[in-house]
Amino acid sequence: MADRPHTTNPFRYGDLALDDAFTDRVQELQELKADMRNGQNVVVFAPRRYGKSSLIWRAAHELIAARQVLIAQVDLMKTPTKERFAEKLAASIYEDVTSSLFKVKDRAIAAFRGLRVAPMITVDQDGSLAFSFQTGYAPSDLDATIEHLLELPAKLGAERRKRVALVFDEFQEIVNIDRRLLPLMRSVFQEQPEVAHVYLGSKRHMMEQIFSDVNEPFWRSARQMELGVIPSAVFADFLRARFQRTSRSIDDKVIDLVLETTHSHPYGTQELAYALWEVTPRGRAVTAARFNEALTRVLRSENGHFSRIWERASRAQRVTLEALAKNPGEPPLGNAYRRRHNLPGPSTVQRALEALDDDELIERTGDGYRIAEPFLAEWILRNDV
C-alpha cells in the first residue's frame, strides 16, 4: 500500500536535528541557555555526531526568538587559515550581531571601520555580505585585526545593553590554524565577563589539553559539559511515538534490538530508524526481517566510509578492531584474549588502542573497549575484511 503524499519519514540524520527531530537533551539545553544568558563560558565535549551542533542550534534559536541573547557562531572546521578565520568571524558578527543592533546597513558596516587590515566587503547572490582579507600585510597586522574583531561583540553589546554570546564549533581546530591564537583569544575573553563564550569540540584529547592543562591559556576558563548517549528509555519513547504517529507499529523487542545495535548513539539510532521506517509499509508492524533489511541498507550506505577507515588503519589496528567486533568489553591486553584473537604483543596492541581511541573509533567500557563508530562492528563481522 502506497503512503499518502503527506506522510514523510519522521527520522533525520546527517543534518542538524531541528524542531521535532531534536531528541531529549532537556537538561543540557536548559543549562546551556542559562549559561549563555548569564555570560558564563562553557565548553561542550562530545564525540562526532553526538548532537553538539543540534544542541547549540536549539539553544540559540530559543534565545534569539525570545530576544534574550545575540549569538555569533563560527565553525573552525571551515577556517583553515587565520585569514579565513578573520573572514568568517567578521561575517558572523555582521550577520548575527551588528545587523540586529543596527537596522541600517551602513551603520552595521561602520562597526568594522578602523580594523588594522581593512576587509573587502562584497554582496553574495543571496544578499548576504562576504568579508575577505587580501594578502600583503604583516602577520602582526592580521593578529591585531582578529583581536579587534574578538573585542567587537562585547563592545557593541555593552553600548546597546544587549547580551551577546560567541560560539566556536570544533574549537580544537584553533591549534591547527595557529596555536598562538589561544593566548590572544584568552587575553581578550578574560576581559569580557558579560559575554558567554561557548566552545564545542569533537576531539576530546585536544579539547582536554586546551581546557584542562595548567600550562594552557584556557585552563579552567569555562564550565565543562559532556554529552553522552541519549538514555535508552528516552530514545525508546522517541522511536515508539514516531512510528505510531505515522501509522506503523514497533514492539519493545525490536526497539531493544535497535538500541543494542547502536548503543543509543544519537546519529546511528536516527540512521537505523530512518531505514527501518522506509522498509515498513503504512499500517504494518516492524518485524525482525524488516530490521535485518534496514540494517543491510545502512551497512550498504556506510560501506564507502568504513572502507576508507579500514584502508587507513594499520595491520595492528585492523586485527584489534576485528577482535573488538567479536568480543567487546573484555581487557584486550590480557594473554588469553590476545591468543584467542591472534593479536600481537601488549605494547603493539596498546599503541593500536591509543590510535583508535584518538580517532574516536573505539571507547572504553568497563575493563575493556568496544567499537564506538556506529555499525562498524557489524560491517567487520559481515565482511571478509
Task: pLDDT tens for the chain, 385 residues: list them.
Answer: 445 555 789 998 875 544 455 556 788 899 999 999 999 999 998 777 777 888 888 898 899 888 889 999 999 999 999 999 999 999 999 988 888 888 667 777 888 888 999 888 888 877 778 899 877 788 899 999 999 999 999 998 898 889 999 999 999 999 999 999 999 999 999 999 999 999 998 888 899 999 999 999 999 999 999 887 788 998 999 999 999 999 999 999 999 999 999 998 888 999 999 999 999 999 999 999 999 999 999 999 999 999 999 999 999 999 999 999 999 999 999 999 999 999 999 999 999 999 999 888 998 888 899 999 899 999 999 986 6
Per-position DSSP letters for 346-373, written without gaps between them = HHHHHHHHHHHHHTTSEEEETTEEEE-S
pLDDT of 312: 96
pLDDT of 2: 47
CB–CB of 373/307 below 8 Å? Answer: no
pTM: 0.77
Domains and CATH numbers, the chain: 25-226 (3.40.50.300), 232-382 (1.10.10)
**What end-to-end distance do the CA atoms of the chain give, in Å?**
39
pLDDT of 23: 58
Please identify which residue in the block is written with the cell numbers 579539547.
Answer: 207
30-to-56, 228, 256 alpha-carbon distances in Å: 11, 16, 29
* Residue 153, C-alpha cell as written in the block: 561583540
Helix (H, G, I), strand (E, B) or coil at 324: helix
Nearest to 50, CA basis, from 30, 34, 28 = 28
